[in-house]
Structure formats: structure tokens, C-alpha cells
Amino acid sequence: MEILVCVKRVPDAAENEIAVEGGALRGDDLVYSVNEWDNYAVEEAIQIVEREGGSVTVVTVGDGESEEVLRREMAMGANQGLLLSDPAFAGADGLGLATVLAAAVRRGAYDLVLTGAQADDGAAQVGGMLAAILDWPFASLVNSIEAQGGLLRVGREIEGGAQEVSEIDLPCVLSIQTGINEPRYVGLRGIRKVASVELPVLDAAALGVAPAPARVRRIDYFVPPAGAGADMLTGSTAELAGQLVELLKAKGGLK
């Protein structure tokens, strides 16, 4: 099975103090990594290929810096990487990104496209839009995949702890939920293998797309101030825990 996995380089939530300036995260201060959900999607793709044969391609839309996330996912086990990069893609909204990705999908012969369920800095929209542009079936929040001939049997996580199982025709787009697997660690052998691999870069002309100007634009970005009814505890972890216990006791949550 030929699988394309869309991945994204995002500010690492575990690494960054939130520093906001002029309605945006301050870029200079950020440490980036692969979007957490995407690791699960890549792991799932690798496992499917291990069972069914085929290959895994990872793709991202971004500048030269984004190459590092492709290389990382290839060190993990993806077979090829593809960087979609053009100044015209900068500032694209979800639809713009989906348009660019759709052009890349059409250039290949993929049976399956995976995305993370959402990105740390995203809106959980690209997977669905991509499927619509391609006119492919789509399942979101997928937490299990089983190949059955020409179709897939996918499990989806439903609110309230329920599980839904669907059959979906190939080719299709799936957005992958964390917990579907345990993403493998990247080892030294993998890193060495991809150390000197040249990654193909496709620009707008090569893809034959000209994404429309973003029609969704972020106008502000901030950490909300503590509002009424919210009690912000401060202190060390041990103190926080102590205060929390006292609060729970006082409010009747703990007897």
C-alpha cells in the first residue's frame, strides 16, 4: 500500500514558555518539533506497510527548516520525504494548505493519506478539507486500522467512551488519534541512514497550484487573564497539591 502521511513542524508545547507578541507566538524564541499526532500517523503507516507491503512517504508544507521533521520521520522508518515549499505558501490558511497537499497527492499514486487528528498549533481541519478537494472518503479521529482487501476497517473514538467501526473505501484520507499505537523511538541507525539523503522540494509551479490568499486570518493570540470564578494556585508542585487537597475538602469533593 502506498501511503502518504502529512506532517507538520510545530512549536513544541513541552519546550516553550508561551511568549506572545503582537498577536502571535514569538517565533524567535521557539523550539520546534514534529506535531505529536503526526508521529502516531507515521507509526501507523509504517506498521501497515510492514504488514501489507508498499511504502510510506512523509510530506510537509513549509520552509527549509521544515526539512528536519521530514528527516526525523524518515529516520523513524518512512521511506521517502517530500517538502512542499514556496513563498506563496507562507501564511496559508487550512484550505490553502489542503490545496497544496492535494496537488502533491495527485502527483503520486497513493492508496491512503494519513494526517494527525490535529496539530498543536492547528485547527483540525486540513485532513477533512484535503479529502473534500480530492473527493475521497474521510474518517476522523481514527484509533484503529485494519486492511481488508480493497477497503479498510477503521475504528473511531466517539465521545463518551464509545467506539465506532466503519468500512471505508480506498483511496481515502484518515486523521489519526493519539493512542492508536506506540510510536517507535528514532534510533541511530535510522538517523545515519537519512543523514545524506537529498529530499525533493516542490514549489508552486512544480505542483501547479496557486493557493488563494488566506480567507481565515488570525488577528489575535494571547494567554487569557484569570477570570472571575477561576482560582489560580501558585507555588511548588508539592504546595499546589496541598492547596488542591484543601480546596477539594473545603468544597466537599473529598471527604
Partner 1 sequence: MAQILADRRDIDFVLHEQLKVEALSAHGRFNDFSRKSIDLIINEARNLAVKEILPTQVDGDRIGARFDQGKVQVPPSFHKAWKALREGDWLAMTEDPDWGGQGMPRVVATAASDYLMGANFAFMMHAGLTHGAGKLIETFGTDAQKRLYLKKLFTGEWTGTMLLTEPEAGSDVGALTTTATPNPDGTYSITGNKIFISGGEHDLTPNIIHPVLARIEGAPAGTAGISLFVVPRIRVNDDGSLGEPNDVVCTGIEEKMGIHGNATCSIALGGKGGCRGTLLGEANKGMRAMFMMMNDARLMVGNQGLSCASPSYLYALNYARTRLQGRHLLKMMDKSAPAVPIIQHPDVRRMLMLMKVHVEGIRSLFYYLAHCSDRIAVSADPDEKARLQGIIDFLIPIAKGYVTERCFDVCSLGVQVYGGYGYIREYPVEQLLRDCRITAIYEGTNGIQAMDLLGRKLGQNQGRPIMDLFDEIRGTLAAARDADRAAPLAEALEPAVIRLEEVARHMGTTALYGDLPTAAAHAHPFMEVCGDVVLGWQLLWRARTAAEALAAGAKEKDVPFYEGQIRSAQFFTAVLLPVALGRMDAILSGCAVAVEIPDDAFGGK
Residues that bind partner 1 (CB under 8 A): 14-17, 28-29, 33, 68, 71-72, 75, 184-189, 191-192, 195-196, 234-239
Q: Are 6 and 101 in contact (CB under 8 A)?
A: yes
Looking up cell 487528528 gives 117
CB of 201 to partner 1, least distance (A): 15
E strand map for the chain:
2-6, 9-11, 20-21, 24-25, 32-34, 55-61, 80-84, 112-116, 138-148, 151-158, 162-169, 172-176, 201-202
**For partner 1, which is the closer residue by CB, 74 or 209?**
74
Q: Are 137 and 27 in contact (CB under 8 A)?
A: no
**For partner 1, which is the closer residue by CB, 8 or 71?**
71
CB of 20 to partner 1, least distance (A): 14
CB of 190 to partner 1, least distance (A): 8
Strands 2-6, 112-116: pairing kind: parallel
**For partner 1, which is the closer residue by CB, 158 or 245?**
245
CB of 200 to partner 1, least distance (A): 17
**For partner 1, which is the closer residue by CB, 210 or 244?**
244
Alpha-carbon span 24 to 45, nearest angstrom: 33
